[in-house]
Structure 1
Amino acid sequence: MSKPISETQLAGKKKRGKKPGRVEQGGSVLWSYHGMMANSCGLLTFQKEPVPLKSVEVELEVRDHVATVVSTLNYENKEDKPLEAVFVFPLPGDAAVCHFSAKIGQTQIVAEVKEKQEAREEYDDALSSGRQAFLLEESEQSPDIFTLSVGSLPPGESASIRLEYVTELAVQADEGLRFCLPAVLNPRYQPQGSGGSEGGNVQVTSVPASLVPYSLSFSARVSSPRPVSKVESNCLLDPLQYLNTEQTQTTVKMAAGHKFDRDVELLIYYKDAHQPSAVVEAGQASSKPGTLMGDPVVMLSLYPEFPQAVMSSDASCGEFVFLMDRSGSMAGSHMKRARDTLLLLLKSLPMGCYFNIHSFGSSYEHIFPKSVEYNQKTMKEALKKVEKMGADLGGTEILEPLKHIYSQPCIPSQPRQLFVFTDGEVGNTKEVINLVKQNSGSHRCFSFGIGGGASSALINGLAKEGGGHAQFITGTGRMQPKVMQSLRFSLQPAVVDISVEWDLPKGVSVTALSPPITSLFQGQRSLIYAQLTGQSPEASEGCVTVKYSLAGHPSQNQLHFSLKPAEDTGLTVHRLAAQTLIRSLEMEERERRGQEDEGVKKKKVVELSVQSGVSSAFTAFIAVNKGSSEVIQGPLVRRIVPTPNLIDCGMYHFPSCGAHMMHTDHNLHHDCAHSTSSSCKKKSMGGIGPKSKSKINKFFARMKPQKLTLRSHGAGHNPLPHSEMPFHDNLMRMEAQPYCHCGISLSPRDLLLPLVSLQKASGCWVLDPDLAAALGKTSEELEKPKPASVNQEVWATVLALIWLHGFKMDAQEEWELLATKAVSWLQAQEASCVTECVEAANTVLGCTVQKDALGL
């Protein structure tokens, strides 16, 4: 299947009189979207065409929270005709691509950044003249998609393409720093009737993940002022190798034989991490003083600490709007985890707030016509509808439901908080982000990218422009901890009137390169880039103060820093600063479309991109081999290099009892294909016991063991047969070490949800057989020790809190908010025998939880 060529491009080629020199031939599997999905099923057959890309080598260098990535793509033409290889592939959406070069034999060609149309014409001219040329360009619709064209590769010839970019590492809910090397480029759904310039309809050529025809080698070097405590990955890694006794420098490599068939995720943990810091980087000696590249640039990492008096009382109001992706690509475990997460969210909302749940695919739906007050009746009605949600709404058209949400008037004194859950496969990314920015004054947007292939440009862009926070949930990672962190952020009072003030030595001035800060969250990083102009005395110091108002209280955080440039930083900070400024200017240019001064910001973007050597939507990297006198004869055959795809007809395929490793203790996590693996059928849940009409049994009956942990039991181990055990013993057996039939144990955290599902909106629990089952007891075992003077709801609520603190401290971040609501309910009851209840509950559950630990 050929690379799509727009009418504009085709007309341009005819106008320039290009020679007809290419034979357009298919490369392999194709996903194609032109308004609607062109193929009824999407993923076609693998055509087994030769793929000239043989291997990808990636070297990652992490310095504190900034990553430099060097990728080398090795091509070889084993055919008898000259080739043009085209590779559409993903990169992190906030990456600053800053170097592109090609090596053919002993000849090294370094690419230049030029205006995009000029670069395309130069590339076409080179191919028409029989010369080798290389073109790297960013999609005009989504900054996380790039196209690499390798032109005129003669028979038997090899070429190595070197691509370098720098990116900031996002802070996760558990304070780890996340690096993702995207491999999966799922199709970007282009809504019907959506406009856009050339390149708007992104065609993705892909194969099933197991058939990726090129290999990946990956190595990383991590250094920080603080010790590196651990590095985890969704891929098998060799053990960490520390380079010094302080353990501040380490290297790690991916185990040999890895296929580039999934996004490679690395989580890096430092001891005593995330302290405010500043890095001053000297300007480029060859650049003119007064320019961004010629002057020093400072990068500030701020972690605001809010006054405890303000933070001790979370907001009890707000309008919480949940927007859930129900497109076909969300099928399987993604949809199940989304439903479970909505359950946890709804149980954790504060009384007195408002809420609604919207969902979308090719069309969109909502549970209530408008947001309703949160109470037991509305929560119960919402949960019934959430239970029935499936990935059955077709494509991924997020723009229209967002417009509908924004058309709803805001509720007075109820700040709107928007939570967006999606696998991020849209073709109109910039249009969606622009809409969120236009409405940023009326809400905060918290975004969640689900699964491999989620668009980092979309997820990060929604949160950045919406003043919220972005999270990514990949592999077997649990969605709930990250979502609950964002809910806690949304419950924090909104920070307003944010300003940044600089105190610098005389003769030094500052130019802000980052857009104004629109949101601050307790302990979360905010990055500021600024250009420093002028001369500063030796050993001089600067100071930056961030001032803001929080719940009516004026506050500030201050950071003093040395103006002495750091050593060995290269131009990393300058390039990140340039990329930040470029993205801001691109956004402003989109906002000016149709106005008289349209194109002013575009011109500035092109100038800055060329000056800094950092890619943009309006420029491209172009390299032409002008040194070779040999003219390549004959028509070119185009080969499309495929990316891995996890989707087949809208359904996600999981490896049948395949596994991936989490470094460093090499615990094995396991995704099990229950629909295809006979050893993991429903009989694996036989340990649940006889059928029951209770809600707890219904929960387990529908629950599939999607997240599994493979434990080492030695050769020949068979799990204990627990199908013959009584139901309550069975539940406790599952709590200790549940298994599916193939000997793989279920995560005990999944047993948290049955108890959560029984909590009332007010925060209390009811003493009934369902609660007894969730706690692994009989009704008689719970009722008998109840203090006589205590009502049943108080007793049931104390039991639930004791169980959470006694057995579920590893998942505290998931249940903390709903436990706080339960404690508030208990305090409102003014029960006189709480101490007696706590002691009795500890006895019946076998715990030793202190009353103070409950917050009572």
Structure 2
Amino acid sequence: MNHPCGLRTERNEPVPLKSVSVDVEVQGHVASVSSTLQYENQQSGPVEAIFTFPMDSSASVYRFLARIGGTEIEAQLRERQEAQEQYDDALSSGQQAFLLEESAESSDIFQLRVGSLPPGESASVSLAYVTELAVQADDALRFCLPIVLNPRYTPAGSQSVTSEVPGVSGDAVPYTLSLSVHIYSPSPIQSVQSNCVLTPLDFLSPDHTEAKISLSPDHKFDRDVEILLYYSQPHHPTAILEVGQSTASPGSLMGDTVAMLSLYPEFPAALQSSLASCGEFIFLVDRSGSMSCCMNQSRTSQSRIESARDTLLLLLKSLPMGCYFNIYGFGSRYDSFFPASVEYTQTTMESALQKVKSMEADLGGTEILQPLQEIYSKPCLPSHLRQLFVFTDGEVGNTKSVIDLVKRHALSHRCFTFGIGEGASSALVNGMAKHGSGHPQFITGADRLQSKVMQSLQFALQPAVKDISLQWNLPAGVSTTNLSPPINTLFPGQRALVYAQLTGQVDSCVTGSVSLLYALGEEVVKNDLTFSLTPKEDSSLLLHRLGARAAILAMEGDVSGGVDSGVKEKVVELSVQSGVSSSYTSFIAVNTESKQILKGPLRRRVTPVVFLKKCFYKRPPVLLNALSTPAEAPTFSGGGLFGGRIACRKSAKGFSSPKLGLSRSRSPVECDSFSPPEEKKSGDPMLDLIGLQKADGSWDLHQSLTSILGKQKEEVAKTMPGESPAVWATVLALLWLHGQKADFKDEWRFLAIKAISWIKAQSGVDVSKFVTAGNSLLGLQLEPQVLGL
């Protein structure tokens, strides 16, 4: 089937979007973004342009402007139904109108409607939003401009959140994108990296705390724009105060001072190193057709399901003895490895590994709600905290229903989520982790799923932090109102952002402080932060917008399974007062100054999805052809702000260093087709070695191990000191990992901890002799202390 290219209608007529320009201002850990979309109607009659686009779920839209000719119209926030009726009334009267609203089902999807654009007329639409920057495992702050809006799989009987959007090729998008970023950092900027080609980093201050950078003008619409910012002091706790709006009433959110706290809890080393030895670990793996897509653009790239299989291998080898576990796969249906969670033993581990090898992306759509209901229906095991790991490419249409389910069971488990591939729903991945007291991770391009999963496993093995609270120490007459929901989880090295409203007269000559208190194990920990009470002035009111969004999300989160009229009224009131969008409000603008009443039929122009050509699955997909879906399959479709996709999305991170003007970005290539996994080595010696480890952490001295070490079994046996082949094999495996795979230590560290514990438990063994002999055999010079021995 030939698909029309670019922004076209079903009659192959051009849709009027011509260009998109984006200006980003980063202030420490948050960013203010302004996007301008230029339209031009080249048709003979009036048109209505509809544009569905992704946005990070933490973003807060606070301004919406439309310009037609010499007239500028600033949109107002109204209750959602009222705004929609006003828009429809304007169109029916032949007036020009603009409507911007958040999806009622998923907070990371917005729809813009440009109505009654006259023939030959130009218009520009500007929207501004603020967003928090996520912290990565390597301490980078991540800004992402979403370009991909995946088709959202919509269960039968539900309404699609990404409907009416045809498919086009990503290299045929007829509009342009420009992006500039202005960075203000509290500490010197070390470097900036991106998966797209950027101009050289331009420092604007001698201390390197201010810089600018731009997107290369020849950017292709084949990936999200991802920028990583590295500061010299990424873990430095800070408190920033922003003065209120002079025209707003004192005592109101916009009239008072707002504080943003960036907290990095300092866990005592002894408590941080003591890992939990028990727990129930449940791994829920997406096996829908889209998991057959490649992880990135390289011809040798794994598919997502292959990466998931390797990750499950690492997880199964890294689990502590004495825990319980189970593995679920889901698509249009779901299944589990065991009827209920089983104790982690050599037998159950081997049984699970055999089943992992046969896992394929062959279960159709993405029905995540049913397996979650099944998991939560199982009783929790006494003294074994439930840890749920969810792997998905995040293409679901019932996001809020899923998050509500996780939230209802928040007290019984922790939920760690992994969004795989470009366009994974940030609302789903962030929402499940946030309401499940866990931690979200996004894996795009050349990221390794395994390293990020191991970081989350470290968090899961940490005892649950309890009784988290904030204590303010402020001058008399100054009170605080928390805008953020209560902190329900803390992890070492991970930032916690807190927004608070300060009411009363703030004396800029004094200081205040706040204490973060929490219980870890049997010990109560206290972290103090002292700060100046001098608020800064910012015309954009960035912190007020983010604080309002935090308060809105907290109120919206109090409603599950229905709409509470009292909560809805409060959300609408705060949304209108602060100018920040919500799921209950919409931006509406009507050009009342125009004297021209547009006549004639109004044609609708829908921005289509971008999908990549020649992107093949390892086996024919079941439910991923949005243009010819099987009769029994629920339908789904989508669109993107700067593109989207129907089927397989392949995008390599290919990070470039703008400071050096280098780039490793690659153009899209075909995914090779692969055969189902066979009973043979993976081709990765590290995974092959890990695959030989026993559940207790030890290795046996077999030919398969010695061949990975590059030695003959006879030579290895001849040089063995003492009469302990298992100890000898385990020491050699540890030496090889440290000597050959040190760069991947974050992936094998937990199975190494198990191995060390097993070695220390063996009586009458001189470990130093084994290490010395192993160094000699493998040509290494590693001390026992390096191995943890």
Q: TM-score, normalised by structure 2?
A: 0.90
How far apart, CA to CA, are the structure 2 residues paired with 1:654 and 1:845? 42
Tell me the CA shift for residue 669 of structure 1.
5.7
Per the alignment, residue 111 of structure 1 pairs with: 75
Deviation by residue 1:560-601 (Cα, 9 ceiling, x = unmatched) = 1111102447311110011111111112233554xxxx3100
What is residue 23 of structure 1 aligned with on the other side?
none
- Choose the corresponding residue for 1:668, options 664, 668, 681: 664
- How many angstroms does 1:675 deviate by? 4.6
Residues 116 and 602, structure 2, Cα contact 8 Å, conserved in 1 = yes
Residue 853 of structure 1 aligns with which residue?
786
Distance, in Å, in 2 between the alignment partners of 1:133 and 1:654 is 35
| Contact 1:659-1:671 within 8 A present in 2 as well | no
- Counting aligned pairs with the same residue, the percent is 56
Hey, what's the Cα distance between the residues in 2 that align with 1:765 and 1:671?
Answer: 43
CA distance in 2, matches of 1:66, 1:675: 37
Q: What SS does structure 1 have at the residue aligned with 2:230?
A: strand
Q: Quote how far apart the aligned CAs of 1:654 are.
A: 6.5
Query: What corresponds to 2:143 in structure 1?
Result: 179
Q: Summarize the Cα distance change of 1:179–1:669 in structure 2 as closer, same or farther, 3 Å threshold.
A: same
Q: Which residue of 2 aligns with 1:167?
A: 131
Partner of 2:518: 548
1:796 paired to 2:729: yes
1:464-543 aligned at under 5 Å gives the runs 464-543=434-513
The farther-off stretch of 621-630 and 291-300 is: 621-630
CA drift of 1:204 comes to 4.4
Structure 1, residues 814-848: CA drift from partner, whole Å, max 9, x if none? 11111111111110113533112112212222222
Residue number in structure 2 paired with 1:65: 29
Aligned twin of 2:681: 698
Residue 780 of structure 2 is aligned to residue 819 of structure 1: no
Distance 1:222 1:422 in 2: 32
Work out which of the residue numbers 114, 128, 145 in structure 2 matches 1:150: 114
- What secondary structure does 2:213 align onto? strand
Give, in angstroms, the shift of residue 45 of structure 1.
12
Identify the residue that residue 707 of structure 2 maps to in structure 1.
Answer: 773
SS of the residue corresponding to residue 558 of structure 2 reads helix
**604 and 157 in structure 1: CA distance in 2 versus 1, 3 angstrom threshold:** same
Matches of residues 521-600 of structure 1 in structure 2 within 5 Å?
A: 521-568=491-538, 570-591=540-561, 593=563, 598-600=564-566
Q: Out of 549, 572, 576, which is 1:610 matched to?
A: 576
Change (3 A) 1:96 1:480: same
2:770 counterpart residue number: 837
Which residue, out of 715, 720, 725, partners 1:786?
Answer: 720
For 2:518, what is the secondary structure of its paired residue? strand
Query: What's the CA shift string for 1:681-718, capped at 9, x where partnerless?
Result: 99xxxxxxxxxx9x7x5322xxxxxxxxxxxxxxxxxx
SS, match of residue 101 in structure 1: strand
1:54 and 1:214 in contact (8 A); partners too: yes
Indicate the SS of the match to 2:61.
strand
CA RMSD of aligned residues (A): 2.4
2:587 maps to 1:621: yes
Tell me, yes or no, if the aligned pair for 1:27 and 1:50 is still in contact at 8 Å. Answer: no
Aligned to 1:436: 406
2:682 alignment partner, SS class: helix
The code of the aligned residue for 1:760 comes to K
Out of 387, 393, 416, the residue aligned to residue 386 of structure 2 is: 416
Q: Is structure 2 residue 9 aligned with structure 1 residue 51?
A: no
Structure 1: runs of 5 or more not aligned: 1-25, 31-43, 683-692, 701-749
In 1, Cα distance between equivalents of 2:69 and 2:48: 18
Conserved 8 A contact 2:193-2:228: yes
- Looking at structure 2, the residues matched to 203 and 552 of structure 1 have their Cα atoms a distance apart, in angstroms, of 56
Residue deviations 1:255-313 (CA, integer Å, cap 9, x gap): 12112332111111111212111111111111111111111111111111112222221
Q: Residue 318 of structure 1 contacts residue 354 of structure 1 at CA under 8 Å; is this kept in 2?
A: yes
Secondary structure in structure 1 of the residue aligned to 2:304: helix
1:762 is matched with: 696
Structure 2 distance, partners of 1:48, 1:778, is 67
The one of 302, 310, 326 equivalent to 1:356 is: 326
Distance 1:396 1:659, change over 3 A: closer
Q: Distance in 1 between matches of 2:422 and 2:11?
A: 24
**Which whole-Å deviations, capped at 9, do the CAs of 1:290-346 have from their partners, x for residues lacking one?**
111111111111111112222221111110011111111111311111111111111
Q: Is 1:256 aligned to residue 222 of structure 2?
A: no
Instruction: Tell me, in whole angstroms, the C-alpha distance in 2 between the residues paired with 1:212 and 1:797.
Output: 56
Q: State the partner residue of 1:5.
A: none
AA aligned opposite 2:682: F
Q: Secondary structure at the match of 2:540?
A: coil
Equivalent position SS for 1:848: coil
Deviations along 1:728-777, whole A, 9 cap, x unmatched?
A: xxxxxxxxxxxxxxxxxxxxxx5422221121111111222211232233
- Aligned counterparts of 1:142 and 1:361: Cα–Cα separation in 2: 20
Deviation at 1:28, TM superposition (A): 7.5
Distance 2:724 2:170 in 1: 57
| Counterpart position of 1:741 | none
Alpha-carbon distance, 1:497 to partner:
1.4
Question: How far apart, in 2, do the equivalents of 1:430 and 1:808 lie?
Answer: 42
* Cα shift readout 1:780-827 (whole Å, capped 9, x = no counterpart): 44333222x141111111111111111222111111111111111110
Q: Distance in 1 between matches of 2:212 and 2:324?
A: 49
CA distance, structure 2, for counterparts of residue 792 and residue 672 of structure 1 = 49
2:268 pairs with 1:307: yes
Equivalent residues of 1:476, 1:671 under 8 A apart: no
Residue 133 of structure 1: how far off its partner (Å) = 0.9
Counterpart contact for 2:446–2:653, Cα < 8 Å: no
Give the match for residue 40 of structure 2.
76
| Distance in 1 of aligned mates of 2:115 and 2:236 | 47
Aligned to 1:15: none
Q: What SS does structure 2 have at the residue aligned with 1:603?
A: helix
2:298 aligns to what? none
Q: 1:66 to 1:353 in 2, by over 3 A?
A: same
Q: How does 1:278-293 map to 2 (within 5 A)?
A: 278-293=239-254
Write the letter of the residue equivalent to 2:154. Q
Q: Could you tell me whether the CA contact under 8 Å between 1:29 and 1:205 is conserved in 2?
A: no
> 1:548–1:555: 8 Å Cα contact kept in structure 2?
yes
Code of the aligned partner of 1:636: L
Quickly say closer, same or farther: Cα 1:661–1:553, change in 2 above 3 A.
closer
What secondary structure sits across from 2:728 in the alignment?
A: helix
| 2:629 alignment partner in structure 1 | none
- 2:643 corresponds in structure 1 to none
* Deviation for aligned residue 1:552: 1.6
Residues 134-177 of structure 1 show CA distances to partners (whole Å, capped at 9, x for unaligned) of 11011100011111001111222111111111111111111111
Instruction: Pick closer, same or farther for the CA change 1:399–1:368 going to 2, 3 Å.
Output: same
With normalisation by structure 1, the TM-score equals 0.84
Q: 1:203 to 1:241 in 2, by over 3 A?
A: same
Post-superposition shift, 1:209?
2.6
Inter-partner Cα distance in structure 2 for 1:541 and 1:210: 55
Q: Is the 8 A contact 1:28 1:47 kept in 2?
A: no
Q: How many Å apart are 1:212 and its aligned residue?
A: 2.9
Unaligned runs of 5+ in 2: 294-302, 626-646
1:378-417, aligned counterparts within 5 Å? 378-417=348-387
Q: CA deviation digits over 1:12-57, x for unaligned, max 9?
A: xxxxxxxxxxxxxx99799xxxxxxxxxxxxx99974412112211
Q: Give the alignment partner of residue 738 of structure 2, picking from 805, 810, 820.
A: 805
Question: Structure 1 residues 784 and 209, CA, compared in 2 at 3 Å: closer, same or farther?
Answer: farther
Q: 1:797 to 1:395 in 2, by over 3 A?
A: same
